Amino acid sequence: MNSSRSVVLRGLLQSPEEWEVRNRVLVESLSQLAEKYLRNATGRGLDVGCQYGSFTDRLNAHTSLAWEGIDPILTEQQESPQGATLHAAAADSIPCPDCHFDCLILANVFEHIPPDLRYASFKEMRRVLQPGGIIVGQIPNPYFPIESHSRLPFMGWLPISLREKYWRLAPVPWQGNSPWEHNFFAVTTRHLKAEAARAGFQVVTVENFNYPVTALPKAVRPLAVTFSVPMKRFPWAWQFVLRRPAEDS
């Protein structure tokens, strides 16, 4: 990669301090949504797509529920840094009993579920929720000018075949021999609502969401301030709450 272009693209990456602000704001905003719409029956929550559990630990610190997590990147059951149970599983095959949770968190995960697994995933998430239980989550806007996974301009507008080639310019780090480790699909609230309804969920709320400028790389903060008004209508992401109907059995 051209060195000057590399420097420019690296300027789109958050520093550790900016990542900390981002993660804190994300968990606080989703926790507030969860507590607002929660009908506490089991006292348990599940972090779907938990990775290695740092976000799960934050949920345990910010909500009234006891959280565990699942993620297909895990090879066996393990614990988070703070001791939460993490299962090696995906959203379409959750190793938990029926009606086991009050709330599921789906934070920037829906866009990674392959289209042919979305229905099965939502059906499985509905199965493990109590009637009246909720899914609380966030999906990034794939058509935002700077795409959130790659930090590349207009990545989300490309077909997936071209996206893989374009990804080689991304400043984000990767492991192994290929940079295409963050495969995602361009989904919006339209896709979310359709899949949720098909699996029997009620859409409680969908809200525009933007991070504060302190969570953004310093290089893009002036642009975020300049475009703060249009970003209220064309946001960085959307947050949502879905509910399993209370009469569902």
CA dist., res. 42 & res. 39, Å (int): 9
202, part of any domain:
yes
Stated length of the chain: 249
Three-class DSSP category at 47: strand
Q: What is the 3-state secondary structure (H, E, C) of 160-224?
A: HHHHHHHHHHCCCCCCCCCCCCCCCCCCCHHHHHHHHHHCCCEEEEEEEECCCHHHCCHHHHHHH
52, part of any domain:
yes
- For position 140, which CATH number holds? 3.40.50.150
178, part of any domain:
no
CA dist., res. 218 & res. 17, Å (int): 11
97, part of any domain:
yes
Number of independent structural domains in the chain: 1
167, part of any domain:
no
Q: Summarize pLDDT for 71-106 with one digit per residue, the tens.
A: 999 999 999 999 999 999 999 999 999 999 999 999
164, part of any domain:
no
223, part of any domain:
no
CA dist., res. 244 & res. 225, Å (int): 38
pTM for the full predicted model: 0.88
Domain with 122, as residue range(s), is 16-145+189-215+228-243
pLDDT in tens, the chain (249 residues): 444 444 444 556 667 888 899 899 999 999 999 999 998 889 999 999 999 999 999 999 999 999 999 999 999 999 999 999 999 999 999 999 999 999 999 999 999 999 999 999 999 999 999 999 999 999 999 998 888 887 788 888 888 788 878 888 877 765 545 555 557 888 999 999 999 999 999 999 999 999 988 888 787 778 778 878 888 888 999 999 999 999 876
Q: Where are the alpha helices (DSSP H) in the chain?
A: 3-10, 16-37, 54-62, 118-128, 160-166, 189-198, 221-226, 228-231
107, part of any domain:
yes
Structure confidence at residue 182 (pLDDT): 58
